[in-house]
Structure 1
Amino acid sequence: MHNITDIFFDLDHTLWDFEKNSALTFQKILAESNVAVDFDRFIEVYVPINLEYWRLFREDKISKTELRYQRLAKTFKLLEFDASDELINHLSEEYIAYLSSYNHLFEYTEELLENLNGKYKLHIITNGFRDVQRRKIKASGIYDYFEHIIDSESVAVKKPNPKIFNHALQLANVAPENAVMIGDSFEADIQGAHALNMHVIHVDFDKKHTHSLCPIVHHLAEIEKILK
């Protein structure tokens, strides 16, 4: 990749280890609320449900309130655990409150940002909620690496909507051919940015994807070699 001046990163599942931090949060709040479910089974059921509801949210088929309630309600239903609306709403609030208190980053995140810092202008484009995402970035110690943090809540559209990428490019004052988007979601990050003629790098830690649209990396250390 040549003539790259700006790098846009996704946050969750790309730099910030969402599944690990989320599991630690649930471990804490379920125990504190005396919710007697098998924790491993809870996580096993919750993770795919959460991904599905985020897809629905990304496609504007559900609201933020519905996302936060329904993902837990459906999990408890499948676990055949009788959870009241009061409990679900309480856990939903506790989850958001404590999620950013766990800040595990994927291996090599800090080294990558340090090595790229100064050579490129670094930014974040995330579909997460403004306050939560900024707390995550600050608490994990990587906030100062980024010139701009663009979140879907502030822009009022979500990736892969071209408006959020155009907004980010305009904010950074960079042409798409001089920018690269790095993220884990093929639909939201890769196809979304590619449609605007941005360069793209697909982060696929679980090795689930095979395509020829762009480089695929299985470890963050591979990114620097692609950028050279």
Structure 2
Amino acid sequence: MSQLNPKFVYFDLDDTLLDHKKAEQAGLLDVHQHFDMFNGVSEDNLLDTYHHINKGLWEEYGRGEIDRHELHRRRFQETFRELGLDESMYDKAGKVYMNYYRNHWEWIEGAKEAYDKVAGKYEVGIITNGFAETQRLKIDQFNFKDSARHIVISEDVGVMKPDPKIFDHSTELAGVNREDILYVGDSFTSDVVGGSKASWKVAWFTKTPIEQGYKLADLIFDDFEQLLKALDV
């Protein structure tokens, strides 16, 4: 008998199944190499400045204070302003970044094998924050439609995790009781808090758990073999 015993398993996408952080960093390093304007600006300075600004903008976007177009514009415009570079280059830089970012998508170590095994035993789905067009490209590239019964993208629903609406919508799609759904994700706020508030079971993928996570998550793991063992797969 599975330790968790779900009837439906939802997976988060970025930094749970696919290595978004690694792809983002590699894409930014490619941007650094692409433009001469970065001469005199270190790679680390670009990465640190962009990450700080982008994180704040995604928080604003999640609260509904800005739209996707403003996020796209400001993340490079404000990065360049902070670095003393030409702000008007934000649009070119943004397009170049997205092209490079897509070249670096890959599975988290152990995630593909685990996902395939879980999908072979349970009905599975995907729930992801992010822009629909980008997330659909990932879903198509990694053939998730072949195995995922339901794919839920925050922009399509109109709210981001941990908003209860996205979990309510996903519960209806799964067609099982809330307590019979397991959510596998890496973000404490979006996935652990969101999933537990929805009365789902939660498996938290993290190498740096915090005390509150032990109270909310049904499983905390940093190796997908631990998830497979808990699911008796």
TM-score, normalization: structure 1? 0.89
Counterparts of 1:148 and 1:96 in 2: how far apart (Å)? Answer: 26
Task: Pick the aligned partner of 2:61 from 57, 63, 70.
Answer: 57
Letter in 2 for 1:209: I
Counterpart contact for 2:27–2:97, Cα < 8 Å: yes
Counterparts of 1:208 and 1:73 in 2: how far apart (Å)? Answer: 34
Task: Pick the aligned partner of 2:11 from 9, 12, 19.
Answer: 9
**2:73 paired residue number:** 69
Counterpart contact for 1:124–1:149, Cα < 8 Å: yes
1:193: how far off? 1.5
Confirm whether residue 165 of structure 1 aligns to residue 167 of structure 2.
Answer: yes
SS in 1 for 2:211: coil
Q: Which runs of 4+ in 1 moved over 4 A?
A: none
**1:127 paired residue number:** 129
**1:44 paired residue number:** 48
Equivalent residue runs for 1:111-122 within 5 Å: 111-122=113-124
Letter in 1 for 2:36: N
Instruction: Say if 1:71 and 1:105 are closer, same or farther in 2 by CA, change over 3 A.
Output: same
Equivalent residue runs for 1:99-118 within 5 Å: 99-118=101-120
| Deviations 1:162-216 (CA, angstroms, capped at 9, x unpaired) | 11111112122222111111111212111111112110111113x1523221122
Letter in 1 for 2:221: V
* Number of residue equivalences: 225
Instruction: Say if 1:210 and 1:84 are closer, same or farther in 2 by CA, change over 3 A.
Output: same
Counterparts of 1:116 and 1:194 in 2: how far apart (Å)? Answer: 21
Instruction: Say if 1:143 and 1:83 are closer, same or farther in 2 by CA, change over 3 A.
Output: farther
Instruction: Say if 1:54 and 1:134 are closer, same or farther in 2 by CA, change over 3 A.
Output: same
1:58: how far off? 1.3
- The percentage of counterpart residues that share the same residue type is 30
Moved more, 120-129 or 56-65: 56-65
**1:201 paired residue number:** 203
Confirm whether residue 213 of structure 1 aligns to residue 216 of structure 2.
Answer: yes
Counterpart contact for 1:6–1:120, Cα < 8 Å: yes
Counterparts of 2:132 and 2:193 in 1: how far apart (Å)? Answer: 23
TM-score, normalization: structure 2? 0.87
Counterpart contact for 1:113–1:145, Cα < 8 Å: no
Counterparts of 1:69 and 1:185 in 2: how far apart (Å)? Answer: 25
Moved more, 125-134 or 165-174: 165-174
Cα RMSD of the aligned pairs, angstroms, is 1.9
1:135: how far off? 0.8
| Deviations 1:113-157 (CA, angstroms, capped at 9, x unpaired) | 121122111111111111101212332454523221100111111
Confirm whether residue 83 of structure 1 aligns to residue 83 of structure 2.
Answer: no
Letter in 1 for 2:181: A
SS in 2 for 1:202: strand
Counterpart contact for 2:80–2:90, Cα < 8 Å: no
Structure 1 unmatched runs, 5+: none
Structure 2 unmatched runs, 5+: none
Counterparts of 2:81 and 2:225 in 1: how far apart (Å)? Answer: 41
Instruction: Say if 1:12 and 1:110 are closer, same or farther in 2 by CA, change over 3 A.
Output: same
Counterpart contact for 2:78–2:87, Cα < 8 Å: no
